[in-house]
Structure 1
Amino acid sequence: MARVTVEDCLEHVDNRFELVMVATKRARQLATGGRDPMVPEESDKPTVIALREIAEGFVSAETLSQEDQRRAEDELAEVMTGASY
């Protein structure tokens, strides 16, 4: 695939600061093995994969926030079912 540009990514996020935050969070997910890439890896590093996913519209701040919310709810449910009173 051709090089990913900031302009490609900015079509799917509000500004450069949000781009940095979304790309960082997504790259961390990919690097720690918590999530699978939504685009072909092509021997790219997690940061490049994250930027390609953003440029193609697969990842946004909203999708990451929804994932965080679901994960927090799942963790809370585990704690509540494991707690004995």
Structure 2
Amino acid sequence: MARFTVADCMEQIENRFDMTIAAALRARQIEKGSDIMVEHEEGDKPTVIALREIADHKVDNQILNRVE
């Protein structure tokens, strides 16, 4: 599995605070059973998967506008 960095995520969501909130919201969705949109390794935590989704341009800052 390729490594990713915060810089990779910042290409998608430029504001680091918005990126943190977006990753937390997406991780919560994953914990609740939402489909995972990227390849991941067994044992990866939802936060790592969420950041990987952001780095792979599967999730963007539009997640901040959703109401659950």
For the criterion TM > 0.5, the same-fold answer is yes
The 2-side partners of 1:9 and 1:50 are apart by 10
1:24-75 CA distance string (max 9 Å, x none): 0000000111x1000023121111110010001000121x256x35x6xxxx
After TM superposition, what 4+ stretches of structure 1 lie above 2 angstroms from structure 2?
none
Going by fraction, where is helix more abundant, 1 or 2?
1
The 1-side partners of 2:50 and 2:64 are apart by 15
* Count of paired positions: 67
- 1:38 counterpart residue number: 37
Q: Unpaired runs of 5+ in structure 2?
A: none
The 1-side partners of 2:19 and 2:64 are apart by 14
Structure with max Cα Rg: 1
Q: Unpaired runs of 5+ in structure 1?
A: 72-85
RMSD: 1.5
Identity of aligned residues (%): 51
CA-CA distance at 1:14 after TM superposition: 2.0
TM-score between both structures, scaled by the size of structure 1? 0.70
